[in-house]
Structure 1
């Protein structure tokens, strides 16, 4: 598998303990080198573990979905930008994005605006007080992320083609909710296969459960990479 394909697969370390995450990384050595650390692991020693991954030459996507007043977002991003991570998420609110972009200026950190969570559908948005359907809201936030100077956005793969038309070729389009053909969707509602997501315009795929919950994680990751390569 080429490094170019492997660099587009982000393995989600959605685990409770650093020891479990270390085991996954060890099992995937030589297959995957890009990992996502989110809430569950970050708040149980995961930030230091993420720094260790960077020191070991791995790429790290810190998925903390920041959102706060401008000054607080900026101060958080300033510190995170010094830690060597490759990607960081924040919710795609225009003021927060502008503050984050200014704070990350001059660093190698790619800021990603989270549009609409892949676990949400139209009814969920309505319950939360939004009038738009998921795709309409995703596209609005994609335009706002572009205008703010963000490095990319996070959206469902089902919206990647429409988003790519808005943001152009240079911004990252990172898609969670990736499921191999026939896999259980779990709590995801807007999903797509690895190959189809890349064809649709995704630059990076976040895959967690289909790999970390597999009986043979290495084989599962290799199968996903092979599907990606076919695109």
Structure 2
């Protein structure tokens, strides 16, 4: 049974991307294609993935530029009709609004604070407030500017849900099975089941699933199914 998992398809090998998707479709709802994939294969590669697999796509480009440029970039990928398209909320109200206006059929998804950043990192780059306060402020602004979805750390999910209400979709990266929390470059993490319980609609998971590919397709299927079951049983 499918769980509210967005699988991060972070690979520069097209056939591997296809294999990951084909072997996890029973457990995973949406597939994230990010900069690594897009810079290797472009919009044509995304289109091929959709044609060959029928997968729903989270196009994670994290657009961040002046409003006119972001609107143009969003229009450039509108023919792909991704389920989600990310922009950085820190680009400001007018930038988020420009993206949302350019592709009204797409769920423009505002990224609040990257889960790889610690509190010290945020202050070093000039944020005046801690991660929680900053993420909530960015989320409220982005939703009011037209973003239909938000990306935030699971540690900020409950506060953001309270601030923006039930309608916006909340997507949380930085989730790890209990045995793997704190084992990599994600600083602010939580288990997938706990993130959903906090109010997330989807969790983004990559390496905890895709690393099983080195042991073969069945291992990948089993890993995806195990994490899906962990989420759905709570």
Instruction: Return the offset for 1:32.
Output: 2.5
Q: 2:174 aligns with which of 155, 165, 177?
A: 177
State the TM-score, normalizing by the size of structure 2: 0.91
Distance in 1 between residues matched to 2:10 and 2:210, nearest whole Å: 8
1:73 aligned partner? 70
| More moved, 74-83 vs 132-141 | 74-83
Identify if the C-alpha distance between structure 1 residues 229 and 33 changes in structure 2 by more than 3 Å, giving closer, same or farther: closer
2:149 aligned partner? 152
Instruction: Return the offset for 1:46.
Output: 5.2
Distance in 2 between residues matched to 1:29 and 1:229, nearest whole Å: 16
Structure 2 residue 46 is the aligned partner of structure 1 residue 50? yes
Structure 1 residues 10-55: Cα deviation after superposition (integer angstroms, max 9, x where no partner): 1000112212212212322433342000111111115323212322
Q: 2:224 aligns with which of 200, 211, 221?
A: 221
Structure 1 residues 45-93: Cα deviation after superposition (integer angstroms, max 9, x where no partner): 1532321232232100000000111111111112222212110000002
Aligned length: 225
Secondary structure of 1:82 counterpart: helix
Structure 1 residues 125-155: Cα deviation after superposition (integer angstroms, max 9, x where no partner): 1111112111111000011012112111100
Distance in 2 between residues matched to 1:208 and 1:179, nearest whole Å: 9
Q: 2:193 aligns with which of 192, 195, 199?
A: 195
Written as runs of structure 1 = structure 2, the 5 A alignment for 1:67-106 is 67-92=64-89, 93-105=92-104
For structure 2, the residue ranges without an aligned partner over 5 or more in a row are: none
For structure 1, the residue ranges without an aligned partner over 5 or more in a row are: none
CA contact (8 A) 1:60 1:87 kept: yes
Instruction: Return the offset for 1:227.
Output: 1.3
Structure 2 residue 207 is the aligned partner of structure 1 residue 204? no
| More moved, 199-208 vs 50-59 | 50-59
1:35 aligned partner? 31
What is the root-mean-square deviation of aligned Cα atoms in Å?
1.4
